A and B are shown apart, each in its own frame.
Chain A
Amino acid sequence: MARNTSSSWPLLHHGLVSAVLGFPLAIWLSGLLVYHLTSGHDDPAKYQVAMWSVVPFWAAIVGLSFMARSKVVCWVGLLVANAVAAGLVHLVAR
């Protein structure tokens, strides 16, 4: 357990930043990987599965964020990932 509590504060930072920036990232990933890159746009279940997929993406992003070595790494990693995922969605969206 964290006896030296000061060393635990970056984890709160990572958790909050990844919860906020991880949400749009999870949305982009759901659109890209689950909706746009798969077939079956006429299936009424597909966009609902895409909605469901946001939560596991989001939770995984938050879970991974604690591995970030510093606050800067956490911010840069998430911002770059958002930008890349958003760009790819705009490339493939039909």
Chain B
Amino acid sequence: MKADTLRKYLVVHTWTGILSSLMLFVAFYAGGISMFAPEITHWARIEPARVGASADADALAAAFFAAQPKTARATLVLPSEDNAAPFMRYKQDGREHREELDTAGQLRPLADGGGETGGFVDHLHRKGGLPLPLDIAEPIIGIVSLVYAVALISGVVVLLPSLLKDLFVLRIGRNVKRMWLDLHNLLGLASLPFHIVMALSAAVFGLHDWIYATQNALVYPQGLKGVEAQSAPKRAPVTKDTSAWLPPSQLVAQAKAAAPGFEPTALDYRGVGTPKAMAHVAGTDDQHFKRSARVGFALMDPATGQVFQSSYLPGQQNSGWAAMLSSFFSLHFGSYGGEPLRVLYAVLGMMGALLFYTGNVLWIETRTKRLRESGAAPQQPRHVRWVASLNIGVCLGCVAGLSTAIASSRWLAAGPVSHEVLIHGAYYLVFVACLAYAFARGAAGSTSGLLAVAAAATALIPATSVLASAGWLPGLAKPYVHGFAFVDVLSAGGAALLAFLALRAQAKQTPLRSSNSTSSHHHA
């Protein structure tokens, strides 16, 4: 490849990378953690005492529809490891309500046990850390993902010529920039397929409204509505009389019969009171691609139990298009191999975050080195110092903030502050404090301190589990389920790694600043 082409793509890689890296760091770090979002929610909640709750889901659904004839949508959540008895969830007046049946057959509201901590992690992931409403942040992260895709293309072009020569070489030594470059290349190349999947799918998730609207205007003569109608499954109208519908247990049985391995977890009744009513049945299946992070869906006629659309039913995609579509979703969510794959995705998410961090360090090191070589003052120019502070402050602020938010949402679940305010407050307070500290002390002066804070905050999570299980925190005690082990072990490992890096940074702080390069190798 011509040297000029390489130079061009290196410039493109540098600038697309530096523009997108900080939001991507947050998206990847929070995304890795969100692999265990349901476990985190369960870990942080005070489980409401379900004493006297009926286990009869059929009776619950019948009583609910009789009591709420005007409800258009309601979800029956079936019992599971983190839910002792079935309950109905629905929205009214903009608020979510949950009801269960007592053993006497009466509906009663479910006590509020705290909020969706895992949901906060997931939203932070989807917003790339921006403190904006989801519908505003999503197109932004969509554009950032496209920039990230261009960074991947240009990064691969730049790496190609040296690919065989430098692959898997990790030159840890006096040349600091070379070490960061090797680490960046190794991380980037080893997880390239993962990054391609994430860049493209995240851009789609962020921009699909714009894309559909433009396709509607430009490529479908009959409009998108016409295209949808052409492919919509033909269905007989559904009776509005919910008492004539099949009981949930029957729908569950028919869903399981339609897909071996499908274990229904919730029945989402949609369009209730209309001829197009459906039971959108969610269920797990560890062997196949799934439409969302934990579940796939059977779209069923609630009166007959017929599965009228199986595109999202695990393993039941009846066309190449449907198989491809479900792979796109599942490859993003890591929902095709059960727990081991979720651990792998969590680790890949952390590796991705580290890739963006090392990329920024390279940008900084390149500019510092260039100054040294040109004989200019050893002091970095202001914009380089700002990027360095921003990089360390945002990255470690995100790590420390998320750990603090998760731990405090459990510690203060019974407190007077609402979950929403508490978890946002905890995250952004720690995040902003870390950022401010990074700017006040400079990157070199703040790294070891911020690493130590992030390590301590992250250690709070397994420490809370241990103390609560030992009975030293009576208010926080709860039965230990096996899903918690993922949260505890991963955060304990993360805390240990951060503590190790903090000690190393402390020891190296002075030598690192005055490190001198002996090589004239130029890259990023």
Residues in chain A within 8 A of chain B (CB atoms): 1-3, 8, 11-12, 15, 19, 23-24, 27-28, 30-32, 35-36, 40-52, 54-56, 58-60, 62-63, 66-67, 86, 89, 93-94
A2 vs B363: C-alpha distance in the bound complex, in angstroms?
Answer: 12
Using A2-B10, A43-B321, A93-B220 as known contacts, list a sample of 11 further A-B pairs with CB atoms less than 8 Å apart, ordered by residue number in A.
A1-B522, A12-B15, A44-B231, A44-B311, A45-B319, A45-B321, A45-B325, A47-B224, A47-B231, A52-B325, A66-B8
Contact B215–A42 (Cβ < 8 Å): no
A63 vs B203: C-alpha distance in the bound complex, in angstroms?
Answer: 15
Contact B146–A49 (Cβ < 8 Å): no
Residue numbers in A under 8 Å from B516 (CB-CB): none
Residue numbers in B under 8 Å from A31 (CB-CB): 215, 218-220
Lowest 3 A-B CB distances belong to which pairs? A31-B219, A63-B153, A45-B321
> Does B107 lie at the interface of the complex (its beta carbon under 8 Å from any beta carbon of A)?
no
CB distance from B198 to the nearest CB of A (A): 12
Chain A binding surface SS class: helix
Contact A66–B328 (Cβ < 8 Å): no
| Chain B residue nearest in CB terms to A29 | B219
> Does B208 lie at the interface of the complex (its beta carbon under 8 Å from any beta carbon of A)?
yes
CB distance from B7 to the nearest CB of A (A): 7
Residue numbers in A under 8 Å from B328 (CB-CB): 49, 52
Known contacts A27-B215, A36-B219, A47-B231; is-contact A59 B204 (Cβ 8 Å) = no
Contact A55–B215 (Cβ < 8 Å): no
Q: Identify the interface centre among A19, A51, A86: most chain B CB within 10 Å of its CB.
A: A51
> Does B120 lie at the interface of the complex (its beta carbon under 8 Å from any beta carbon of A)?
no
A43 vs B150: C-alpha distance in the bound complex, in angstroms?
Answer: 32
Identify A41's interface contact among B214, B231, B370, B524, CB under 8 A.
B231
Contact A59–B199 (Cβ < 8 Å): yes
A23 vs B362: C-alpha distance in the bound complex, in angstroms?
Answer: 31
CB distance from A71 to the nearest CB of B (A): 14
Contact A66–B154 (Cβ < 8 Å): yes
CB distance from B152 to the nearest CB of A (A): 8
CB distance from B147 to the nearest CB of A (A): 9
Identify A42's interface contact among B8, B219, B231, CB under 8 A.
B231
Contact A28–B218 (Cβ < 8 Å): yes
- Pull 12 A–B residue pairs with CB atoms less than 8 Å apart, ordered by A: A1-B370, A27-B214, A30-B219, A31-B219, A35-B220, A41-B227, A48-B321, A55-B149, A55-B200, A59-B199, A63-B154, A93-B221
Contact with A along B307-319 (1 / 0, CB 8 A): 0010100000101
Contact B324–A55 (Cβ < 8 Å): no
Residue numbers in B under 8 Å from A27 (CB-CB): 211, 214-215, 218-219
CB distance from A35 to the nearest CB of B (A): 7
CB distance from B321 to the nearest CB of A (A): 4
Docked complex: B450-469 residues within 8 A CB-CB of A? none
> Does B472 lie at the interface of the complex (its beta carbon under 8 Å from any beta carbon of A)?
no
A89 vs B218: C-alpha distance in the bound complex, in angstroms?
Answer: 9
Identify A1's interface contact among B230, B311, B366, CB under 8 A.
B366
Identify A30's interface contact among B14, B149, B215, CB under 8 A.
B215
Residue numbers in A under 8 Å from B85 (CB-CB): none
| Chain A residue nearest in CB terms to B318 | A43
Contact B231–A1 (Cβ < 8 Å): no
Contact A56–B8 (Cβ < 8 Å): no
Residue numbers in B under 8 Å from A32 (CB-CB): 219
CB distance from B40 to the nearest CB of A (A): 29
Contact A40–B321 (Cβ < 8 Å): yes
